[in-house]
Amino acid sequence: MNIQEKSLDDICKKLKISIHDKEYYKFKKLVTVVNQAYLKVALKEFENIKKNNPKKNITSNFDFLINLYNKHLREHQVMFLLFNLFETAIRSKAAVELSLKYSSNGNDDWLHNNTLTPIKIQRPLNEAKKKISQDGENINNLDSFEIFDYIMLGQLQSIYTDFWSDLSHLFQTKTIDGIIFNQIGKTKFKRLFDEIRKARNDNAHHKPFHKTRKRRYEIIEDIELILIHIDFNLNQAINNIDPKHKIIRLKYS
């Protein structure tokens, strides 16, 4: 059984259809152009619906499956944008805070002047320089924001923990609109960031949330908590992405 036949066979078994079904050839084409991971999620959901509600009126198995599949793709797209918001905010905040701390007065030269560049950022900076050079750019023409765009998310996480003495003030206890947000310590920050990064990597590789990792609402809560501490208005940003908050349901807004 080849790869196409295997995927098609899985659909036929779960939906209890055969080659004689009027939509069989639609499914045969479908399996060659969809994300198989999300197709499996949609199939499992379809199978459960049929099992738990056998009298449900489904006029087209194909259309019903596609609707379920598209629902999960929509979740993927919305979460992709949320991860992008998180990564952009946490990256920019570090660039600002560290540039203000280590640059000469009134300048943004800490990544250009070797006497100002802390040793603990040298490794991610060197890797960023290689990528900048590959893009045909001159690092001397780039500011901290632009250089940090070349630093990978895992390296950014290390920068936060390596420079915790410079960045920990962002995560002190604070009260906003009468809600007390407790201090986030270095260990907790690392744990939260780890979970977000893993989920973000799954999302970037078009994988559904892994069953061994945190559920979607827990990841959203972790993201919301960190962004609140760095003064990012996530609620306002989400209104432009998921205005009815059907997927991204915030805990504190």
Task: Count the Cβ atoms, other than its own, within 10 Å of residue 83.
Answer: 21
Q: What secondary structure does DSSP assign to 193-204, as a single string?
A: HHHHHHHHHHHH
pLDDT digits (tens, 9 = 90+) for 109-151: 999 999 999 999 999 999 999 999 999 999 999 999 999 999 9
Structure token pair of residue 161: 């923990």
The pLDDT assigned to 119 comes to: 96
- Report the Cα–Cα distance between both ends of the chain, in Å, rounded: 51
Show which of 42, 70, 98 is a domain's final residue.
70
Are 44 and 142 part of one and the same domain? no
Looking at the chain, the whole-number percentage of residues with pLDDT higher than 70 is 98
- Does residue 251 form part of some domain? no
Show which of 52, 70, 88 is a domain's final residue.
70
The pLDDT assigned to 246 comes to: 74
Predicted structure pTM score:
0.87
Enclosing domain of residue 42: 3-70
The pLDDT assigned to 234 comes to: 82
Are 210 and 123 part of one and the same domain? yes
Are 64 and 176 part of one and the same domain? no
Structure token pair of residue 235: 């609620």
Are 36 and 113 part of one and the same domain? no
pLDDT at 211 exceeding the cut of 70: no
The amino acid present at 106, given as its one-letter code, is: G
* H-state helical runs in the chain: 3-15, 24-30, 36-52, 61-102, 122-134, 144-148, 153-162, 164-167, 186-204, 216-229, 234-238
pLDDT digits (tens, 9 = 90+) for 142-198: 999 999 999 999 999 999 999 999 999 999 999 988 889 999 999 999 999 999 999
- Does residue 222 form part of some domain? yes
What's the rounded Cα separation, in Å, for the pair 118 and 2?
A: 55
Burial (CB count within 10 angstroms: exposed 0-12, middle 13-18, buried 19+), residue 175: exposed
Are 91 and 61 part of one and the same domain? no
Are 60 and 172 part of one and the same domain? no
Q: pLDDT confidence of 233, banded at 50, 70, 90? A: confident
- Does residue 213 form part of some domain? yes
Are 14 and 94 part of one and the same domain? no
Are 76 and 176 part of one and the same domain? yes
Are 83 and 31 part of one and the same domain? no
The pLDDT assigned to 210 comes to: 61
- Does residue 252 form part of some domain? no
What's the rounded Cα separation, in Å, for the pair 156 and 33?
A: 35
Tokens 């009298």 belong to which residue?
55
Mean pLDDT of the chain: 92
Structure token pair of residue 63: 């259309």
Residues forming a β-bridge with 181: 174
Q: pLDDT confidence of 236, banded at 50, 70, 90? A: confident
- Does residue 35 form part of some domain? yes
The pLDDT assigned to 241 comes to: 74
What's the rounded Cα separation, in Å, for the pair 204 and 154?
A: 14
- Does residue 246 form part of some domain? no
CA distance readout (Å), 106 to 126, 136, 166, 186: 25, 28, 18, 30
Domain count, the chain: 2
- Positive/negative CA dihedral, 241, 247, 248, 252: positive
Are 61 and 76 part of one and the same domain? no
CA distance readout (Å), 163 to 119, 123, 160, 186, 230: 11, 14, 5, 10, 15
The pLDDT assigned to 10 comes to: 93
Are 9 and 42 part of one and the same domain? yes
Are 59 and 82 part of one and the same domain? no
Show which of 27, 42, 70 is a domain's final residue.
70
- Does residue 50 form part of some domain? yes
- Does residue 249 form part of some domain? no
The pLDDT assigned to 1 comes to: 86
